[in-house]
Structure 1
Amino acid sequence: MDADRGVAVSRTIIVAGAGIGGLTAALALAAKGFRIVVLERTERLDEVGAGLQLSPNASRILVDLGLQSRLQDCAVAPDAVTAINARSGRAIVRMPIGDVAARTGAPYWVVHRADLQAALAAQVAAHPSIELRLGCAVDDIAPHANGVTVSAGGAQEPGLALIGADGIWSAVRGLTFADTQPLFSGLIAWRGTLPAEAMPDGATLRGVQLWLGPEAHLVVYPISGGRRINLVAVVDGSWNQRGWSARGEPTEIIARFAHWDGAARALIGAVDAWTRWALFGMPDGGVWNRGPVTLLGDAAHGMLPFAAQGAGMAIEDAAVLADCLAASHGEGRGGSAAEVPATLQRYAALRRPRVKRVQQLARQNGVIYHLPGVAALARDVAMRALGPDRLLARQSWIYDWRR
């Protein structure tokens, strides 16, 4: 290897996966002076899924990376989250999210996944230190004294480290931690969207609705600059096929919500096409790194979506990982390849406790959301007694986080 090639490899970080976590990691690392190669197994970037929520802990990072101008026309800042009793249709409590944004100094956004990925991809394409390679699935990983060599798409790419940001069914994790696999939760999420003008009774939705019912819940909020409405309906079931976009039969999901309030049923009935995905999760605390290979986002700690922090935790991971690598291997630092494993262990140690706490919160929320009968009545009474300020304060440890 000639001297120039050696210098290039010593500054190269390989990222597997061009989803939200992988592209955020590429931008965060490039901002620290690294050269980034992103390997994406698909032939085109076509983010599946529908909406997601970005609370200030995550949106602040995106703003710092220069994404605000790219997101301002498609992201929506909801005015509140309203919990609603599914049987009666009455609001349990309304929590003003605008107050959270004002306190933290960063926006609370709801956004279509595809819009967020497109914004990240455009920012990546504009950065001279990032190379995105499509149709390059990771086939093999070979750690060595100078870092790691990744075999993908018929080529070999050497680098200082490899970041597996390739989702819940991560190929990088499979090659590195073969004995650790996601576990099925027994829950299935159905998702669909409808044009904003198709809202029942011509209503205008400005916030997030969280409908709570026995053994099911429904989340509804605007996306795509308010032009569409996102619905996610979560029910229990045994269907556990891998993937994010299996077709769902509308009559099935309509039947599951037949005993809910008419407004909820009207929303569900207004969706023409449903997809569904079985909810899997990783063990609490996640699995993180081995040698010069590390994981982030769902690959490391896939979690249930009931804290609205799946994307947020991946974005946080990316920022913290970039900080750690820059501290030891940034320009002028002189860190050697031999120090990379210790750096990645530090990243894992910083992230593991917080991620574990969020995983546990999401699982607890799922139980609370689906309470039946008398237990649901007690839940509603408790939420009203606590009131919006104290309910929001219980999540301030998430929203107020700064690295």
Structure 2
Amino acid sequence: MALSRTIVIAGAGIGGLTAALALAARGFRIVVLEKAERLEEVGAGLQLSPNASRVLVELGLTERLKRSAVTPDALCVMSARAGGELLRMPLGEAASARAGAPYWVVHRADLQSALAGAVSDHPDIDLKLGATFEDVAPHAKGLTVVHRSGTIRRSDLASALIGADGIWSTVRQHLFPEVQPRFSGLIAWRGTLDATQLPKDFTARRVQLWMGPNAHLVAYPIAGGRQINVVAVLPGTWNRPGWSTPGDPFEVMDAFAAPRWPSQARMMLTAVDNWRKWALFGVPDGCPWSQGPVGLLGDAVHAMLPFAAQGAGMAIEDAAVLARHLSLEAAESTADVTAALKQYGRARQARVRRVQRTARQQGRIYHLGGPLAVARDVAIRALGPERMLARQDWIYGWRP
């Protein structure tokens, strides 16, 4: 009995939709299960360095993103202690030429909309909204994947199930209930503002990274440059799940109070009217990537701290590698699919762990204070922009 050519993906986030397009391009029929009734903005801005944008370009997303994605000219590393810029690392054409793909900053909703549009236009992808994954069981043709829409339970036959359902993954819980997200002790606050609210020199096409004692701040343009995305990361004890809990602006402003933080940084914070916060959790290193013909992707298997700006990028990379490995197999049996998913996990583990370590290390560096902050600032200035950009080659230069 021939194995089904259908693959079910749980989760219609960035990773799940990218995987749907990549797998459909390899000849599979895809069913995407998304528990939300409609796709809505969660989070705010994303940085898509060339390793991630390359995959999206190859999937034909350029035209859909060109109106909303911004190519920043530079990453400006700023020090609260020094009161301003330490280093300006070239992005724009410099990074694109070096890596062979663009560096984009984009609103998460705009990226999700572009991916969802491409998914909707693809004849071999069925996006089911309001469909919650419930169970999976072996079947003569592969797997039976059970999902619920309201009070109605349905099932699909599939050769594989991919859990791309985020850090609180139901698929991972089904496979590996012992693997639980861990709170990092950090809280990310996000907000957006119209670019017209700031002086012109604050709205240049650049990414600003402000480092300070026990906190840091990132700001960059999104929505074609019409808005500025602001993210502040602070220590805290509040640790409820979720991406969009309302936050008290006085709590943010207190953490970024003068004189520890200069007026340049504080001006952006005061211009944000509506703060949202989310507790930063991670998935422990060593989480298995698959079991039989069921695999995991993105935050479901390697949710990481945001200090390398690679959370979405790693999920997009996962999708490309997953599609490559599944297509390399004849996929004529469950054993073939199981082997392909094991190969996919082995291909991704070392790189993802290195990115996770880099993110943790950079977070510690960003939040230094006192003499250690002085030494950090001196070292960054001495490094210079070209060497700083070269240090990113192992991330930006990746190809599937």
C-alpha distance in 2 between matches for 1:224 and 1:143: 44
2:66 aligns to what? 72
1:225 alignment partner in structure 2: 224
Q: Tell me if structure 1 keeps the 8 A contact 2:246–2:276.
A: yes
Contact 2:142 2:333 in 1 (8 A): no
Are 2:43 and 1:46 equivalent residues in the alignment? no
Q: For 2:372 and 2:138, locate their aligned partners in 1 and report how far apart those are by CA, in whole Å.
A: 52
Q: 1:147 is matched with which residue?
A: 142
8 Å contact kept, 2:203–2:228:
no
Once the two structures are superposed, residues 95-130 of structure 1 have per-residue CA deviations (whole angstroms, 9 ceiling, x without a partner) of 001211111221000000000000000000000000
Change beyond 3 A, Cα 1:145–1:346: farther
Q: Quote the residue 1:3 is aligned against.
A: none
Q: CA deviation at 1:337?
A: 2.2
Residue number in structure 2 paired with 1:347: 344
1:147: how far off? 2.0
SS in 2 for 1:122: helix
Q: Which residue of 1 aligns with 2:204?
A: 205
Q: So what's the TM-score if we normalise by structure 2?
A: 0.96
- For 1:336, the equivalent position in structure 2 comes to 333
Match of 2:303 in 1: 302
The amino acid of 1:213's aligned partner reads G
The whole-number CA distance in structure 1 between the counterparts of 2:341 and 2:242 is 29
* Higher mean displacement: 95-104 or 272-281: 95-104
Specify whether residues 79 and 373 from structure 1 end up closer, same or farther in structure 2 by C-alpha distance, changes over 3 A only. same
- In the alignment, residue 132 of structure 1 is paired with which amino acid? L
Partner of 1:84: 78
Identity of aligned residues (%): 63
**More deviation, 11-20/286-295:** 286-295
Residue 401 (structure 1) aligned with residue 395 (structure 2): no
Whole-Å separation in 1 of the counterparts to 2:280 and 2:26: 35
The equivalent of 2:102 in structure 1 is: 107
Check whether the contact 1:10–1:337 (CA below 8 A) recurs between aligned residues: no
State the distance in 2 between where 1:285 and 1:370 align: 26
Instruction: Give, in whole Å, the separation in 1 of the partners of 2:79 and 2:297.
Output: 36
Relative to the length of structure 1, the TM-score reads 0.95
- What amino acid does structure 1 have at the position aligned with 2:189? W
Between stretches 90-99 and 13-22, larger displacement belongs to 90-99
Tell me which of 88, 91, 95 is aligned to 2:89.
95
What is the CA-CA distance between 1:251 and the residue it aligns to? Answer: 1.0
Quick check: 66-75 or 97-106, which moved more? 97-106
Counterpart CA distance in 2 for 1:168 and 1:397 is 26
How far, CA to CA, are the matches of 2:46 and 2:202 in structure 1?
21
Residue 202 of structure 1 deviates from its aligned partner by: 6.4
Report Cα offsets for 1:228-273 as digits up to 9, x if no partner: 0000000001110000000001111111101210111111000000
Deviates further, 144-153 or 355-364? 144-153
Q: Give 1:401's aligned amino acid.
A: W
Instruction: Name the structure 2 match of 1:216.
Output: 215
Offset, 1:21: 0.2
Alignment check: 8 A CA contact 1:214 1:371 kept: yes
Residue 312 (structure 2) aligns with: 311
**Structure 1 residues 380 and 277, CA gap change in structure 2 (3 angstroms):** same
Q: Show the counterpart of 2:190.
A: 191
CA deviation after TM superposition for structure 1 residue 148, in Å? 1.6
Contact between 1:19 and 1:47, CA under 8 Å: does it hold in 2?
no
Structure 1: state its 5+ residue gaps.
1-5
Q: Which amino acid aligns with 1:304?
A: L
Residue 140 of structure 1 and its aligned partner are, at CA, apart by 1.2
Kept in 2: contact 1:287–1:301 (CA 8 A): no
How far off is 1:200 after superposition? 4.3
Note the alpha carbon deviations across 1:328-374, whole angstroms, 9 max, x for none: 03xxxx63222211110000000000000000000000000000110
Shift of 1:143: 2.9
For residue 172 of structure 2, give the secondary structure of its aligned residue in structure 1: helix
AA matched with 1:209: Q
Report if aligned partners of 1:285, 1:355 keep a CA contact under 8 Å in 2.
Answer: no
Q: How much does 1:204 deviate? A: 2.6
> For each residue in 1:169-188, what CA deviation from the matched residue of structure 2 results, as whole angstroms up to 9, or x when unmatched?
00100111100011110000
Indicate whether 1:15 and 2:16 are aligned. Answer: no
Q: Deviations 1:26-83 (Å, cap 9, x if unpaired)?
A: 0000000000000001100013010010011110110000000000010000000011
5+ residue gaps, structure 2:
none
> Residue in 2 aligned with 1:34?
28
Q: In 2, distance between residues paired with 1:201 and 1:104? A: 30
- Residues 4 and 157, structure 2, Cα contact 8 Å, conserved in 1: no
Q: CA deviation at 1:285?
A: 4.5
> 1:88 Cα deviation (Å)?
3.7
The answer on whether the counterparts of 1:296 and 1:318 sit within 8 Å (CA) in structure 2 is yes
